[in-house]
Amino acid sequence: MRILSCLLLAAVVLPAGAERLSLERIVAAPDLSGPSPRRVQIAPDGSRAGFLRSRPDDQYFFDLWEFDVASGTTRRLVDAAALQPDASLSDQEQARRERARTASLRGIVDYTWSPDGRRLLVPLGGSLWLVDVAQPDRPRRIADGNVLDARISPRGRYVSFVRNQDLYVVDLASGRERRLTHDGGGTVHNGEAEFVAQEEMDQKSGYWWSPDDGAIAFKRYDEAPVAAARRFEMRSTGVDVVEQRYPYAGGANVRVGLAIVSPDSGEIRPVDLGPDADIYLVRADWSEDGRTLAFQRQTRDQKRLDLVAVERDTLRQRILLTETSRTWVAILGKPRFLKSQPAFLWESERDGRRHVYLYGLDGRLRHAVSRGAWGIDDVLAVDEARGRVYVSSNCDAVTDRQVYALPLDGSGAERPQRVTQADGWHDAVFSDNGALFVDTWSDPDTPPQVGLRRADGSLVAWIERNPLDDGHPYARYRDAHLPLEFGTLTAADGQVLHWSLRKPAGAGDGRRFPVLVSVYGGPGAQTVRRKWGELFEHYLAQQGIAVFRLDNRGMARRERRFTDVIHGELGRHEVEDQLAGIDWLARQPWVDPQRIGVFGWSYGGFMALRLLSAGSDRIAAGISGAPVTDWALYDTHYAEQFLGMPQERPDAYRRSGVFAHLDGLRSRLLLIHGMADDNVLFTNTTKLIDELATRGIVFDLLTYPGEKHGVTKRQNRLHMYRTIESFLRERLRLQR
């Protein structure tokens, strides 16, 4: 057996002259994906598109660029380093970026077009700059003082922002700054989204302009009732004691309110949110004429969501519609109010899949815009003149994302017309009128390509063609590029599970290889996708470790029957599906079933622990990054959505956590966590360390001072990759 093992560990053979990826190159500049624009936005007049582009010498530092449609030319509008060389971030902005998953980025990370498309608002280092497209070298600083969430008003008269937990506006004609709220500070916040709204409800802002610039609806919340968690943010230079109001499952949430303020007079009028104070204010939106404010109100148990209309002048209210569920009502898109008729589009999963419906402002359902055995991802745009609605969906392939068009009148609800044609993954951003869209497309073999297209999908011009030619950053590694395979398995209840697999070169020539199961497993995500990326996993495959992914029940972009199975207990069905995938792998002739490992982060870290506990007889080793170990240590909105209140359902929390299952954990574990994590608190890992030590379970530990939920510093990412590779080489017995 020992002689056979040596034979099976023979080095992976790549084509002659092929160069493998290196860990150092993966984290270095320029980005191996090529010059991929971020935050692409078409100007309201359709004349140009703005985007962020990283620098050739630093893939994490971004400047602001523009593409001119008429000339087809691209130029840098704003050099972030020249605009504000000493730019630094406040603690509040750092926290917002952590929620938005942009904490690793520097320079310009956001911007806003003016309504006429002639100016851009650029936040940088706590200041606000107004940049004229015609004279970009003469920017105007209009506000300072660690401002947050800055925007130009819909008609361009004002710039609004939050400073020190109060809402402000600047009149652009006069330059006069007005403070609209005056009680912000301490535990009171105006115009901001609270922690769970940012983290779990995709609520990036806490205020909403009316279309006529005449009013702002804003959220006011007081976090005094929320438990103060004293976190120790351990850094290389010392320890900061942070008192964070963290809403643990079963605990108090913030006290939330909604009000309307006039930017001219400063008059504030509170909006009644109903008799139940313990609710979630999901978001608020205005009708096209600005006369009606519609807010979404979700009950604490998340089984009911109301869309409530408020008359701006009188504050009279009526419930437009109500969504209910025996499990949970998912938070979907905003209502899309129409200009041509008193109606709006509404997204719902009431028939088991996510579809679009047209409602009148009287709250009556007119008809379904989409319907059938498929579902949408998002409503992208509405072209009222042509009577078309544009949506993204995986209608043709679960692993793909395409753009489709539907008649607004519902006549083609079951027959969406595909707009994008190339198989793979399309991220689309439409112009306001739906006539143009920016299409960012990739597949597993093609780095992202960005084109400006007409609504029928035809190409207007390339913003970034990004050909994989000899000048591309990835060109040196083309010959060593390994294909990504896709397939399906069947879950215990008969539902289809999709997987992807990247095999080492030589799989199939009689040798057996180790496999790493890369797992996330949690709701709201899909990991088996036909798109470019995951270069670290590609690196592992080139080193001789196959990488397998499987999207288990409970994950995103499927029907509610697929997602709802996890309600009442997290981990059980997900682990069952992943073990079915591991059993399938073990039967493949090129796989060594004794050398299968698992790796996951966040929910995936939780899954790695549960998989090791349930399948140490089939899994040689596992890596768990930033895991939730006890769902009572996670936030209210997320944990209670699936498990209810821990006071009422303690057994559900016990079964869903890690600690009730640790007796089965016998394979070697590498545990990784950032020591300043404000999302999955480091307490999850310290509690696990204590329990593992008590049980005498040997494990390896890797912690990073100053890192939060993701490991973002370049040197730390490189160190983490090296450590993971070393761990896998040892535990999966991989020869160099």
User: 626 burial class (0-12, 13-18, 19+ CB within 10 angstroms)?
Assistant: buried
Q: Which of 355, 472, 661, 709 is catalytic?
A: 709
- Cα separation of 704 and 682, whole Å? 11
709 included as an active-site residue: yes
Say which of 153, 602, 656, 667 is annotated catalytic: 602
Q: Is 50 exceeded by the pLDDT of residue 1?
A: no
**Residue 231 in this model has a pLDDT that exceeds 90:** no
User: Which among 354, 450, 351, 346 is positioned nearest to 394, based on CA atoms?
Assistant: 354
Is-same-fold flag (333-470; 479-731)?
no
- Residue 16 pLDDT level (bands cut at 50, 70, 90): low
Task: Report d(CA 591, CA 582) in Å as an integer.
Answer: 10
Q: Report the 10 Å Cβ neighbour count for 394.
A: 20
Three-class SS state of 608:
helix
Give Cα separations from 192 to 159, 181, 295 (angstroms): 16, 12, 15
Task: Give the model's pLDDT for residue 89.
Answer: 62
Q: Nearest CA to 91 among 242, 219, 299, 253?
A: 242
Give the gyration radius of the chain's Cα atoms. Answer: 26
Phi, psi of 547 (to 5 degrees): -125, 125
Distance between CA atoms of residues 678 and 655, nearest Å: 25
The residue to which tokens 């309600």 are assigned: 567
Confidence category of residue 91, pLDDT binned at 50, 70, 90: low
Spatial separation of the C-alpha atoms in residues 552 and 532, rounded to whole Å:
21
pLDDT above 90 for 223: yes
How many CB atoms neighbour CB 247 within 10 A?
25
Distance between CA atoms of 707 and 678, rounded to whole angstroms?
10
**Residue-wise pLDDT tens digits, 612-649:** 999 999 999 999 999 999 999 999 999 999 999 999 99
Bridging pattern class, strands 166-171 and 216-222: unpaired
pTM of this structure: 0.94
- DSSP secondary structure letter of residue 364: -
What pLDDT sits at residue 8? 35
Summarize the confidence of residues 177-188 as an average pLDDT.
97
Tell me, what's the pLDDT at 667? 98
Tell me the CA distances in angstroms from 373 to 413, 414, 416, one per residue in order: 11, 8, 12
Q: Residue 87: its pLDDT value, please?
A: 64
pLDDT interval class at 234 (50, 70, 90): low
* Residue 90 pLDDT class (50, 70, 90 cuts): low
Q: What is the pLDDT of residue 735?
A: 72
pLDDT band of residue 337 (cuts 50, 70, 90) is: very high
The Cα 219–Cα 284 span in angstroms is: 9
pLDDT confidence bin for 106, thresholds 50/70/90 = confident
Q: What confidence score (pLDDT) does residue 410 get?
A: 97
Q: Is the pLDDT reported for residue 2 higher than 70?
A: no
pLDDT score recorded for residue 4: 30
Which of the four pLDDT bands, split at 50, 70 and 90, describes residue 85? confident
Question: Is residue 314 over pLDDT 90?
Answer: yes
CATH architecture of the domain covering 333-470 = 6 Propeller (2.120)
**Has 348 been annotated as catalytic?**
no
The overall average pLDDT reported for the chain is 94
Res 9: pLDDT: 38
Is residue 602 among the annotated active site residues?
yes
Percent above pLDDT 70 for the chain: 95
pLDDT at 100: 64
Averaged over 275-285, what is the pLDDT? 97
State yes or no: pLDDT of 455 exceeds 90. Answer: yes
Range of lowest pLDDT (100-104, 492-496, 607-611, 712-716): 100-104
Burial 192-206 (b: 16+ CB within 10 A, else e): bbbbbbbbbbbbebb
Phi-psi region of 376 (alpha: psi -120 to 50; beta: other; left: phi over 0): beta
pLDDT digits (tens, 9 = 90+) for 656-709: 999 999 999 999 999 999 999 999 999 999 999 999 999 999 999 999 999 999
pLDDT in tens, 116-172: 999 999 999 889 999 999 999 999 999 998 899 999 999 999 999 999 999 999 999
Q: Of the residues 110, 285, 306, 677, which is catalytic?
A: 677
Q: Which residues of 552-617 form beta strands (DSSP E)? A: 591-601
pLDDT > 90? residue 235? no
Window from 17-21, 141-145, 188-192, 389-393 with minimum mean pLDDT: 17-21
d(CA 535, CA 533): 6
* CATH no., domain 479-731: 3.40.50.1820
**What residue spans define the domains of the chain?**
333-470, 479-731
